[in-house]
Amino acid sequence: MQISTVVNEIKKIIPEDKIRLNEPMKLHTSFRIGGPADILLLPTEVSEIRNVVIFCRKHDIPLYVIGNGSNLLIRDKGIRGIVLKISQNFNDIEVKDNFIKAKSGTLVTVLSKTALENHLKGLEFASGIPGTLGGAIAMNAGAYDGEFSKIIEKVTVMDFEGNIRDLIKEELEFDYRWSVFQEKNLIILEALIKLEKGNYDEIKSKMEEYSARRKEKQPLNLPSAGSTFKRPKGHFAGTLIEKAGLKGTRIGDAAVSELHAGFIVNLGNATACDVERLIEYVQKKVYEKFQIWLEPEVKILGEK
């Protein structure tokens, strides 16, 4: 099916103002890198997501689902098919007692502020995580001894046939930077989070402490996808990279951060090719020195 035909059909199931054609994906990733997506969609309703999923399945059109693009590297030739962006466009929040129910596009920073405003503790660790709730659940994001597996009670998902169901915590198979969503094609729609009542000033103080530590130790002034590599068992990726003498190592405009070696940053005009080559170089050098293979934490999509 030609792109023009696909677009005409898509306009029948999702409003035209939520459709972007030949959209530069560098506008939708924290790395500020990425070629164009044929079609980018910004749904605001579950029915729109479902209609798109069913349409793509029926016509065998590649479908990719992204959140805020904070843990994502899009290759330079972009993405063929349809990209469904579930971010600020899909972000309703409800608070009842010590529970928060939020749609998957809710920014984690907004979620943690909502918890603070309602005197709920347990989300302080997430106050500086830049992604969406959906992405944070999928990768079991965490920091400062906290992680999403500790607070998620239930997740509502949609499969790629348009069926919707709830998964309880035990079905999510949480592990370090891992969940069932990394091996099954399921779209996270919303989640129920269980927190505890707490003291506003104590919660705020902890959030401010974590924020200050992030600013001191992480290169927040440059585009990146956060931690580039997963933590190897018994080690820290950044420490291994630093001990291998790789701080500041540069390929094109991609560089190992001078501030925190666990981050690869975009110095201005880095390409996805630059980043991938630098990832491979770091992996090779760390393995040569320590016999430890670093696994990328950043997700890579698109055509080279």
The CATH code of the domain that includes 8 is: 3.30.43.10
Catalytic residues: 177, 227, 297
Q: Are residues 101 and 175 in the same domain?
A: yes
Alpha-helix runs per DSSP H in 26-157: 46-58, 108-117, 133-138
**What's the angle, vertex CA 137, arms to CA 131 and CA 138, rounded to 5?**
95
Report pLDDT for 129.
86
Q: Which domain holds residue 125?
A: 93-202
* CA 213 distance to own-chain centroid: 21
Q: Are residues 185 and 253 in the same domain?
A: no
Task: Answer yes or no: is 209 within a domain.
Answer: no
Task: Answer yes or no: is 210 within a domain.
Answer: no
Q: Are residues 67 and 160 in the same domain?
A: no
Whole-angstrom Cα distance, residue 40 to residue 23? Answer: 6
Task: Answer yes or no: is 9 within a domain.
Answer: yes
**The pTM is what?**
0.92
Structure tokens at 189: 């729609």
Q: Are residues 55 and 146 in the same domain?
A: no
- Contact status, residue 130 vs residue 87, Cβ threshold 8 Å: no
Where is the domain boundary, 141, 168, 202?
Answer: 202
Task: Answer yes or no: is 207 within a domain.
Answer: no
Task: Answer yes or no: is 283 within a domain.
Answer: yes
- Contact status, residue 70 vs residue 130, Cβ threshold 8 Å: yes
Task: Answer yes or no: is 158 within a domain.
Answer: yes
Give the SS3 label for residue 115. Answer: helix
Q: Are residues 248 and 187 in the same domain?
A: no
| Total domains, the chain | 3
Alpha-helix runs per DSSP H in 146-294: 200-217, 237-243, 272-290
Q: Are residues 142 and 225 in the same domain?
A: no
Q: Are residues 52 and 119 in the same domain?
A: no
Where is the domain boundary, 38, 62, 85?
Answer: 85
Where is the domain boundary, 58, 85, 112?
Answer: 85
What's the CATH code of the domain at 121? Answer: 3.30.465.10
Q: Which of 214, 29, 257 is nearest to 128 (CA)?
A: 214
Report pLDDT for 251.
98
Task: Answer yes or no: is 20 within a domain.
Answer: yes
Residues of the chain with pLDDT under 50: none
Structure tokens at 106: 């809710």
